[in-house]
Amino acid sequence: MPILHDLELNRRDLMVGGGTLAALTAVPAVVQAQPSPAGAPALTKVSLTVNGQSHDLEIDIRTTLLDALRERLHLTGSKKGCDHGQCGACTVLIDGRRVNSCLTLAIMNEGMEITTIEGLGTPENLHPMQEAFIKHDGYQCGYCTPGQICSGVAVLGEIKAGIPSHVTPDLTQPVTLSDAEIRERMSGNICRCGAYSNIVEAMTEVAGRQG
Amino acid sequence: MRAFTYERATSPVQAAAAAAANPDAKFIAGGTNLLDLMKLEIETPAHLIDVNGLGLDTIEATSEGGLRIGALVRNTDLAADERVRRDYGVLSRAILAGASGQLRNRATTAGNLLQRTRCPYFYDTAQPCNKRQPGSGCSAIGGFSRQLGIVGTSEACIATNPSDMAVAMRVLDATVETVKPDATTRRIPVAEFHRLPGDTPQIETVLERGEFITAVTLPAPVGGKHLYRKVRDRASYAFALVSVAAVIQQDGTGRIAVGGVAHKPWRVEAAESELPRGAKVAAERLLAGATPTHENAFKVPLVERTLGSVLDEARS
């Protein structure tokens, strides 16, 4: 039911006030009905490479990467929590690095390799981090989980690459994995259900398997 | 978010000229602060100049024995650079104490220097704020001011600079390199880069219209122990109540700068001559003339104690 889908989106986003972009992109008529005081919203063509697939879209320039992924490409794994870079629910990998997709414009990410939770694994072929989250009960409501998993995968990569953190004892020595390192590095991913200790266990297991 | 137009810069001078030609234009690099503020309509640029394609993302040795850090070097890469970790540890430590991994992956060196205050009244568009809306008044004075400035403040503004990185840059005597729309360049000591609020708190740096940061340079390493101690309400991912960046030599002399207390990284060179006499004397000199509010008066003893802890660690 695509029409109902768009209408629901429109209503919800107008009500919360912060997500009018999605409404604008989903229902272009709104653009004409409510011109911005700063000038007419500009549309642009953008080409995004997401999970290995290229997509050509026409979007309002203001569209964040998160809104493009969710509302245009219907990759709804990445979640909108705070929409201000504070909660980490929107975390995706861009050229292998974790990023808050709510704080970057879609158009700024042309030519980049974007990986969302949908690109990490599938229900039939889970990523090891997804498997470990299930095994260790690394979630409760699940809303923050895609962001936690994307971040978790990147964190292990960062430790392997020797990138230090706030809790790394000696900047001149190689970085070693520890609970403290994982906790510090995951502080940009908030879990309201408090699954933190199980997330640490899941990540520790995956790190161990990777050696 | 207000509507805007968008272009990709082709060179630093072109970016500067484009910004000078449009008074409502803003540069965008990482976007982690600007987009947040645009969503809240605190920043309302009519035009964005995306500078991400300009390179400027390498860290190179200078002929003076220091480092030139490109404006677009991401915070993660700057903190992880082996030369920075070895010779300018206070800078790595300061960066790693700020934000989250996701934000540091995108935030840039120049953008970090330009980030806006986190004063709650700057963020609340329903409240007067001289920084957001010049002449409207300061809600923070007499309001919720626990996080805010205690020194160098004015009757118009008591906001703080939120950057950790800038505090380390200040203690390292970094220099900001820029290019202007007419292609001339200049070098601004970071000490002079940020302004005190005075009666124009909306003007935060000495950058001129269109002027574009190309790099930040560090002088040759000065040795010593490099420490950054940040005191905050939670152990990670929070802005500083007080932070101390320090480079302390074996004989007890050294340099200190403090974050979380002023509109700019706070360093008073005269206070550094007191360092061998201990934290109390040095902190008193550092915060001379402080005018804390009832809510943030705790920052005065907190600076002294944090400095004391840093000096103890330097001696150990």
- Minimum mean pLDDT among A3-17, A139-153, B44-58, B123-137: which range? A3-17
**Nearest-neighbour CA in chain B from A113: distance (Å):** 15
Residue A19 reports pLDDT greater than 80: no
How confident is the model over A79-106, as a mean pLDDT? 98
Q: What is the pLDDT of residues B91-110, one digit of tens each?
A: 999 999 999 999 999 999 99
- Residues B110-137: tens digit of each pLDDT: 999 999 999 999 999 999 999 999 999 9
pLDDT-above-90 percentage for chain B: 100
Give the closest residue to A156 by CA, choosing from A134, A136, A176: A176
pLDDT confidence tier of residue A39, bands split at 50, 70 and 90: low
- Nearest alpha-carbon partner for B35 in A69, A99, A10, A160: A99
Averaged pLDDT, B222-249:
97
- Residue of chain B with shortest Cα separation from A165: B96
DSSP string, B20-61: HH-TTEEEESS-TTHHHHHHTTSS--SEEEE-GGG----EEE
Is B86 an interface residue toward A (CB < 8 Å)?
yes
Region class of B231: left (phi > 0), else alpha (psi between -120 and 50), else beta: beta
Q: Give the pLDDT confidence score for residue A209 in this predicted structure.
A: 83
* Residues B11, B13, B14, B15, Cα dihedral to 10°: 90
- pLDDT attached to residue A210: 78
Question: Which residue from A203, A110, A195, A84 is spatially nearest to A151, judged by alpha carbons?
Answer: A203
Look up tokens 């870079």; give the residue.
Answer: A85
Residue of chain B nearest A182, judged by CA positions: B101
**Interchain CB distance below 8 Å, A99 and B28:** no
Q: Is B22 on the interface with A (CB under 8 A)?
A: no
Q: Can you tell me the distance from the alpha carbon of A164 to that of A155, in angstroms, rounded to the nearest whole number?
A: 11
d(CA A127, CA A145): 13
- A98 and B36 in contact by Cβ < 8 A? no
Q: In 3D, which of A154, A151, A179, A153 has the Cα closest to residue A167?
A: A179
Which residues are bridge partners to A60 per DSSP?
A43
Are A42 and B6 an interchain contact pair (Cβ–Cβ within 8 Å)?
yes
Is B31 at the interface with chain A, CB within 8 A?
A: yes
- Examine the pLDDT at B24 and tell me if it is beyond 50: yes
What is the average pLDDT score of chain B?
98
Are B285 and B304 a contacting pair, CB within 8 Å?
A: no
Q: Give, to the nearest 10 degrees, the angle between helix B279-286 and helix B299-315.
A: 140
Q: What is the pLDDT of residue A41?
A: 80
Domains belonging to chain A, first-starting first, are 27-119 (3.10.20.30), 128-210 (1.10.150.120)
In this predicted model, what pLDDT tens digit does every residue of B283-309 receive, in sequence order? Answer: 999 999 999 999 999 999 999 999 999
Instruction: Quote the pLDDT of residue A42.
Output: 87
Contact residues on chain B for A164, CB-CB shorter than 8 A: 79-80, 85, 92, 96
In chain B, residues with a C-beta closer than 8 Å to the C-beta of A65 are none
Main-chain phi, psi angles of B193, to 5 degrees: -70, -45
Q: A59 phi and psi, to 5 degrees? A: -135, 160
Q: Is the ipTM of this complex over 0.95?
A: yes
Neighbours of A209 (CB within 10 A): 10
Residue A22: pLDDT band (50, 70, 90) is: very low
Contacts of A40 in chain B (CB under 8 A): 3
CB-hemisphere CA count at 13 Å for A11?
6
- Quote the CA–CA distance of B259 and B43 in Å, as a whole number: 24
Candidates A38, A85, A166; nearest CB to B4: A38
